A and B are shown apart, each in its own frame.
Chain A
Amino acid sequence: MAKVLLYNIIRFGALLIMQVFLFKNIGYYNLATPFPYVLFLLLLPVGIPNFILYCLAFMTGVTVDAFYDTLGVHAAACVALAWSRIVFVRITIQTDHYENYMTPLWGTVPFQWYFLYVLVLTLFHHVILFSLEAFTFHQFHYTLIRILLSCIFTVIIILLFSLLFYRKKQR
């Protein structure tokens, strides 16, 4: 329990620092910009209470917003991600099947589930994020392309991270 808390705190700090100092400067012609900080929200324990999840998501979003000068935009996207995560987990996992404090990381969960989990939640986050950022339907195809390319970028980086910390656990 304490270990899980500690890991999450370290993960939060490391991912946010990387996001605002490294990934903020990476992009492909303003079309694909990665936001791998969502990995922190993805890797929160499966059985986390909804309210705490929302609070953490909101706080994470506001912190990123503070660095991006877009107060509320990332917060809204993260809250949307939290909701989609709750729905996704409720549909795909019987909670009693896994421990409550389990981190849904590749290795503890099967790769297919993990990949779908990351893809769907990231897509949800990016849709809300870029829609709110554009805040207009003018040149909507441009926003759409940004969403898709950024989503691919983010998912690749998240998978690389996961690969880095991949540890086969005995089940």
Chain B
Amino acid sequence: MKNLWLILTKYNAFFLFIIFFGLAFYLAVQNNTFQRASVVNSSNHLVGAAYEKINAWKSYFHLSEENALLAEENAALREQLQHYTMPDTVVQGVVNDTVRDVQYQYIVAKVTNNSIHQQNNYITLDKGRRHGIEKGMGVISSSGIVGIVLHVSEHFATVQSLLHSETRISAALEDSQAFGSLVWGDSYDARFGTLKDIPNHVKVRNGELVYTSGFSLFPPGILAGKVIESGITGGDSFLDIKIELSTQFHNLQQVYVVKDVLAKEKATLESQNEDNG
């Protein structure tokens, strides 16, 4: 005890320095925001680093459990994947067109067979009767009009492509709203079609867009193409307008079959006209 006291008195300058400096340092850290923040941050940094190290070690001990969990999850996912790869159980996507009071429903289908180089081209889809597709429905893609459903089997449907000599689709010009029939016509080039039956007096400009009119199987307002040549006259009172089709037939992958819910009602109503007259 005596010795301790002797040491303390002999080196009192140093011990007093420690005491006073510690007090001043404590005050500095306590009362100055920057210093306080620095101290707290550095301690947090240290603590965080320590925890990180410990966790890195601990994770090794749980590797086997982790592996088992992952294997289990893999199995479950594989099971789910099976459902998606089986063609018959493909989930049917129905998009409701609420604006038009659900007159049109869209069935998503994949193109399984396609041709564009024949005079009469057909497309085969991987959806059939059991998915709700019926003969005479319109088929569109994200880029434009594709065709009309021709035959339906249980799981497949064939589509009479727009690139077919018999296909006629009611279409209208953007500006004048004059409507005519969109046919492939005599171009025999998958990129072009012809808009027939537009009266002579209608002014048509190049680049004008052509939409479906809504009079036939398709909902109105679906892009069909744009005018590239308007001056062809058929020798009578109607214009033949050359259209660049917007649909990319050569790489058609996914299409939508348009289901017109009110088609039957409309057909019944219209048939009365013929009865009467």
Contacts and interface: CB of A to CB of B under 8 A. Distances in A.
Interface stretch (A3-11, A37-45, A75-83): A75-83
A2 interface: no
B16 interface: yes
A135 B34 contact: yes
Contact of A79 (B12, B17, B31, B38): B17
Nearest to A128: B21
A87 B11 CA distance: 11
A135 B31 CA distance: 14
Interface string B1-38: 00000000000111011001101111111111011001
B17 A80 contact: yes
Contact of B32 (A73, A78, A90): A73
B23 A51 contact: no
Interface string A59-84: 00110000000111101101110110
Given A72-B27, A72-B29, A76-B28, A135 B13 contact: no
A135 B35 CA distance: 6
B38 A83 contact: no
Given A54-B16, A83-B14, A71 B27 contact: yes
A136 B27 contact: no
Majority SS of interface residues in chain A?
Answer: helix
Interface residues of A, number: 24
Nearest to A73: B28
Contacts of B29: 72
Contact of A72 (B17, B31, B38): B31
A71 B28 CA distance: 5
A130 to B, nearest CB: 13
A75 to B, nearest CB: 4
B16 A71 contact: no
A86 B31 CA distance: 28
B32 A70 contact: yes
B20 A72 contact: no
Given A50-B12, A50-B13, A72 B21 contact: no
Given A51-B12, A71-B32, A135-B35, A76 B25 contact: yes
Interface string A132-171: 1001100000000000000000000000000000000000
A58 B20 contact: yes
B22 to A, nearest CB: 9
B5 to A, nearest CB: 15
A57 interface: yes
A72 B31 CA distance: 8
Nearest to B39: A135
B21 A80 contact: yes
B259 to A, nearest CB: 68
B20 A87 contact: no
Interface of B: 12-14, 16-17, 20-21, 23-32, 34-35, 38
> Would you list the 9 A-B pairs with minimal beta carbon distance, nearest first?
A72-B28, A72-B27, A76-B24, A75-B24, A83-B17, A71-B31, A79-B20, A86-B13, A79-B21
6 contacts: A58-B23, A82-B20, A83-B17, A90-B13, A132-B25, A135-B38
